[in-house]
Structure 1
Amino acid sequence: MNFHTRKWIKPEDLNPNGTLFGGRLLEWIDEEAALYAIIQLENPRTVTKFMSEINFKSSAKKGDIIEIGIDTVKFGNSSLTLCCEVRNKMTREVIISIEKIIMVSLGEDGKPQKHGKTEKEFVKDRLAK
């Protein structure tokens, strides 16, 4: 799993307990999954369809640095299934794991569109072609 994004936990990211607000973390995960899927499928009209069970295992506090990891699970006809793990760089604890996030490639009409992708690609490899 590649951890592409790091976030520094600031006061505006906290809940009343003084720990990372779950809604803020889910926003960051959804954005990271969208960016990853858009790059993989080469389609800016890619949306979140499904996110499996979410189980918070630990948290982070102000000043901590977390990192968000995304990886490809499988390619469908119009979808890309991902998994995600978020960990606290300071304590090395896993904050959350999500086994399945399904992203769907849409056409201009807003309906699912086949993407023709079958394996993970890296931008550096596309540029070499």
Structure 2
Amino acid sequence: MDVKEKLVRESRTVKSSFVLPPDTNNHGTLFGGKLMAYIDDVAAISAIRHARCNVVTASTDSVDFLYPISVGQSVCLESFVTWTHKTSMEVFVKITSENLFTGERKICAVSFLTFVALGADGKPTPVPRVVPETEEEKWLHNGAEERSESRRKRRENSKKLVEEFGTQKPWE
């Protein structure tokens, strides 16, 4: 394998946490914002493992909370780089809850994030191409360009919104 490519598994990262009362809302379930912070954290580790340099989060695709994660359960996040462009990487994150007493597990959410690799000068720097091996990795890799195009369109729309609304002060 060329040094300019890396296997998906080289970026795989797993993080588990016990869901405690301070991590939950008034329904006794994990705060969405707390989960989103976990998602960004584990995805960033995968991106750094792939690029072996600093990275910044460029975008987070929607996070659909499919099932609540309750106090007393564990939450496990698994992430890996699914696709690369010149200086950017798509990272997939799968979030699973587990009832530690029964062993029942549920995939509670999934998300895709995009990271940009930064060189020592703080500017975007090239990243190695990612090589999928398993069927799951290949399936995610094959859909990545379409997701990237959707992100590009969403970003254009965000820029239009910013132009329309600007930085007007709320009291003006």
Distance 1:89 1:69 in 2: 14
Q: Which amino acid aligns with 2:129?
A: T
Asked if structure 1 preserves the Cα contact closer than 8 Å seen for 2:29 and 2:70, the reply is yes
Output the TM-score relative to the length of structure 2. Answer: 0.63
> Residue in 2 aligned with 1:96?
109
Pick the aligned partner of 2:91 from 66, 82, 87. Answer: 82
Q: Tell me the percent identity.
A: 25
Distance 1:72 1:112 in 2: 17
Distance 1:108 1:16 in 2: 44
CA radius of gyration, larger in: 2
The structure carrying a bigger strand percent of its residues is 1
Q: Deviations over 1:60-113 (max 9, x none)?
A: 111101110112221111111111110112231111111x21111012332211
List alignment gaps of at least 5 residues for structure 2. 1-8, 133-172
List alignment gaps of at least 5 residues for structure 1. 122-129
Shift of 1:119: 2.4
Aligned residue for 1:56, secondary structure, equals: coil
Output the TM-score relative to the length of structure 1. Answer: 0.83
> Residue in 1 aligned with 2:24?
14
Alpha-carbon distance change, 16 to 82 in structure 1, aligned in 2, over 3 angstroms: same
1:29 lines up with 2:39 in the alignment: yes
Question: Over aligned residue pairs, what C-alpha RMSD do you find?
Answer: 1.9
The structure carrying a bigger helix percent of its residues is 2
